[in-house]
Amino acid sequence: MSRPVVVDSVAALRAQVHGWRRDGLRIAMVPTMGALHDGHISLIRIALEKAERCVVSIFVNPTQFAPSEDLDKYPRQLARDLDRLGLARADLAFTPTVGEMYPAGFATKVSVGGPAAGLESDFRPTFFDGVATVVAKLFLQATPDCAVFGEKDYQQLCVVRQLCRDLDLPVEIIGAPTIRDPHGLAMSSRNAYLGEAELNIARQLNAILRKAAAEMAAGADQKDATAEASRALIAAGFTEVDYVEARESLTLAPWRRDREGRLLAATWLGKTRLIDNVEVPSI
């Protein structure tokens, strides 16, 4: 196993990408915040099916964290991540510092609407502006032909697609299926915060959402189904529910029965916040 090329400056990243471009190679990107798990590795595999070279960024982006959130506690394990990237055959790891991404005097941000409205934004109002700003910078720095994002962060996926459409960024956005453990729990770096008892509770999240989605697809009133799902989460041992909502799959507008939908949820286990989503088939 060999580790990927590692660069921590925009200049070095662009120099490497320029060489690949000169050779006529197609380039894919997988933006991450590190603490890589099997879900991330699945994104890299898809990226390498779509392109000859894969750039993986590892950057814990401070602009998407509110002051009350877990920026300082977010897991950082670069040496382990680089080993995993080597096994996955990623070609380059971009590991910039905060100062490289946001140098002194940085004063610009991307403000997003559309699919960013509601859901996560109701509870993390600065989150998607932070995501859009760092993703736009990464795309301008690496100039990938395509980028792969997981469907586990479904609203984020929709926001990034809107970002590329609205700003004419020439990057194909590929959504990748959520990778789950054998019990159905979506892979997430924050799962590392959970003890065994909490994991057993967390593993009920997807089943509760799938049950609600099936009931809605069968004709149940969506308000009744989502309210019952919220009650079921609390009964299962979750400590708080931020939302359980149905939205249209493409736009994240309020769901209508004649459209394919997504049922999205965010809930808490103690101090750990978990999100997930499932498809709601059209009728």
Q: Which amino acid belongs to residue 171?
A: V
Residue 153 marked ligand-binding: yes
Residue 52's domain is classified under what CATH number? 3.40.50.620
Do 101 and 26 reside in the same domain of the chain? yes
Do 19 and 159 reside in the same domain of the chain? yes
Q: What share of the chain is helix, strand, coil (3-state, %, to 5)?
A: 45, 20, 35
Residue 113 marked ligand-binding: no
Hey, CA dihedral for 211, 213, 218, 224, is it positive or negative?
Answer: positive
The answer to whether residue 179 scores a pLDDT higher than 70 is: yes
Q: pTM surpassing 0.85?
A: yes
Q: Which domain holds residue 80?
A: 5-176
Do 95 and 207 reside in the same domain of the chain? no
Alpha-carbon distance of 114 to 102, in angstroms, equals 26
Do 236 and 166 reside in the same domain of the chain? no
Whose structure tokens read 């602009």? 63
Do 59 and 195 reside in the same domain of the chain? no
pLDDT of residue 281: 80
Write down the mean pLDDT value for the chain. 96
Average pLDDT over residues 183-203: 95
Do 75 and 138 reside in the same domain of the chain? yes
Whose structure tokens read 């390498």? 48
Rounded to the nearest 5°, which phi and psi values hold at 218?
-85, 0
pLDDT digits (tens, 9 = 90+) for 1-48: 688 999 999 999 999 999 999 999 999 999 999 999 999 999 999 999
Residue 228's domain is classified under what CATH number? 3.30.1300.10
Do 35 and 145 reside in the same domain of the chain? yes
Alpha-carbon distance of 7 to 16, in angstroms, equals 9
Residues 151, 39 contacting (CB under 8 angstroms): no
Alpha-carbon distance of 145 to 60, in angstroms, equals 23
Alpha-carbon distance of 26 to 178, in angstroms, equals 25
Q: What percent of the chain has pLDDT over 90?
A: 93
Task: State the catalytic residues.
Answer: 40
Q: Minimal CA–CA distance to 209: which of 241, 176, 189, 232?
A: 232
pLDDT digits (tens, 9 = 90+) for 210-233: 999 999 999 999 999 999 999 999
The answer to whether residue 268 scores a pLDDT higher than 80 is: yes
The answer to whether residue 103 scores a pLDDT higher than 70 is: yes
Residue 259 marked ligand-binding: no
pLDDT of residue 53: 98
pLDDT of residue 62: 96
pLDDT of residue 283: 65
